[in-house]
Amino acid sequence: MTKTSNTRLMIAAITALFLYGAIASMLGTLLPDLSVQFHMTAKQNGSIASMQALGLVLASIVAGPLIDSRGKKTGFLGGMALIVISLFALPNSVGWRTIMAAMFVLGVGGGTIVTAANTLVSDIGEDRRASMLSFANVFFGLGGLLTPFIAANLLHGNAIGLSYLIAVLATVTFILHVTTPMPPPAIHQGFVFSQALRLPDKSLLFLLSLFNFLYVSCEVAFWNWLTKYLVGEGISRPVALNILALGFASGMLAGRLISSRLLLKYSAVSVSFVCSGLMVITTYWTLHAGNPAIAGLSVFCAGAVMGPVFPSIIAVAGDAFSQMTATCMGIVITAGWIGVVTSSWLIGLLAGSDGTHLRIALLILPVFSAAMILINLGLRPLLARARARSRIVYDAPAQHVT
């Protein structure tokens, strides 16, 4: 591919990730107002988050084989269309069930474009995959910063206005992808999803999936529950939204910018190991911050150490599976969305119908982070065996991959 076409493809990928970042923080931004408007309990809030995650799961299962057999453009356009439909439907909801339906469709669309975008970046930056993925996912952080910031400072909590604004952004992104030439499918015949389960490195695929299951559970719990938690701790809603935007989203942005350089020198496995350990500390700190200033600092630090983790583990998957790459990356991403379903349900259940136990429920974040450390250690011998078998240096800086 020419440099010009690679640039256009990179723009297509980062605009999709930017859009999904804006969508990812929507639910946490809207939940406080929607809870009041429709008199929803914490358990119903958890059900809404779970339905969005179920849509993400379904999308990721289907998107990988679809992209491998039909091409990335099909994935982008199909996902964008569903996003536009759901965002125009969300403001017209009449109750929590219709909100759940809209969020499910939004999850399907979002999961599809996330898989398509990360697969596209993985192909473009094959010789420095981890660094390129980290850079591209910076724009996810920018999108995540945009939504709560606009909601707090420009729209003053106007859920309808926010939904329509993101819908317009999705429409513009859809048009961009329509006009962008993209590579043909990786395979030209029908694909059987079960073939991925017969890969020689399926144990490695399982551990990568389990790691991402735990990580995405932690990240999305912040997006969906942080504002509600901070408001429950006595922080005003505008301040809580700004902590989510200028704290968590900005922290993720900073973490991914820094890691895009670090991953040129250090392995993705090592970076994700260090970040997992720091997640234990920062997530626990956030749950015990005593005032808005300390909360903002702890949330920023949590975002900064979470930022490098997802692109790092996706890069390991891309390096490890040169065949059926989109499908294998889709499986790893799917595991993350399953984590969202599980954690959203669990947090809603533990928080209670009135949300009084939300701090206790959110302790799953440092617990999951600690489990990530152990899984990371378990990955290393499997990566070594995979390297010996296929002569791909998985646990090395990106520019040394052969």
The CATH number for 81's domain is: 1.20.1250.20
Distance CA 269, CA 222 (A): 23
Residues of the domain holding 73: 10-181+198-400
Among candidates 218, 8, 28, which has minimal Cα distance to 121?
Answer: 8
Amino acid 398: pLDDT: 47
What is the chain's mean pLDDT, rounded?
Answer: 80
Count CA atoms within 13 Å of residue 248 on its CB side. 35
For 308, list phi and psi in degrees, rounded to 5.
Answer: -75, -15
Compare 192 and 114 and report the one with higher pLDDT: 114
Distance CA 275, CA 93 (A): 39
pLDDT over 80 at 239, yes or no: yes
CA 262 to chain centre: 21
Amino acid 368: pLDDT: 95
Q: How many domains does the chain have?
A: 1
Question: Does the residue 188 lie in any domain?
Answer: no
CA 232 to chain centre: 25
For 308, the token pair is 């490098």
Whether 69 contacts 19, CB under 8 Å: no
Question: Does the residue 76 lie in any domain?
Answer: yes
The pLDDT tens digits for 318-377 are: 777 766 777 778 788 888 878 877 887 788 788 876 667 888 888 999 999 999 999 999
In the structure, what pLDDT confidence band is assigned to residue 275 with cuts at 50, 70 and 90?
A: very high
Question: Does the residue 388 lie in any domain?
Answer: yes
Question: Does the residue 190 lie in any domain?
Answer: no
Distance CA 298, CA 96 (A): 32
In the structure, what pLDDT confidence band is assigned to residue 189 with cuts at 50, 70 and 90?
A: very low
The pLDDT tens digits for 202-228 are: 788 899 999 999 999 998 888 778 888
Question: Does the residue 4 lie in any domain?
Answer: no
- C-beta atoms surrounding 189 within 10 Å: 6
For 140, the token pair is 């996810």
Question: Does the residue 310 lie in any domain?
Answer: yes
Q: Which residue has the tokens 């429409």?
A: 171
- Maximum CA extent, the chain: 58
pLDDT over 70 at 79, yes or no: yes
**Alpha helix stretches (DSSP H) within 233-267:** 237-242, 250-262
Which residues make Cβ contacts (< 8 Å) with residue 290, sequence separation at least 6? Answer: none
In the structure, what pLDDT confidence band is assigned to residue 193 with cuts at 50, 70 and 90?
A: low
Distance CA 215, CA 373 (A): 11
**Angle subtended at Cα 294 by Cα 292 and Cα 299, rounded to the nearest 5 degrees:** 90
- C-beta atoms surrounding 350 within 10 Å: 17
- C-beta atoms surrounding 37 within 10 Å: 14
SS3 266: coil
Question: Does the residue 94 lie in any domain?
Answer: yes
Q: How distant, in Å, are the alpha carbons of 23, 31, 35, 316 from that of 38?
A: 21, 10, 6, 43
Amino acid 127: pLDDT: 67
Distance CA 46, CA 96 (A): 11
Amino acid 322: pLDDT: 67
Burial bucket for residue 234 (CB in 10 Å: 0-12, 13-18, 19+)? exposed
**Angle subtended at Cα 2 by Cα 318 and Cα 66, rounded to the nearest 5 degrees:** 40
For 310, the token pair is 């997802």
For 172, the token pair is 């513009």
Amino acid at 169: L
Distance CA 207, CA 348 (A): 27
Question: Does the residue 189 lie in any domain?
Answer: no
Distance CA 48, CA 40 (A): 10
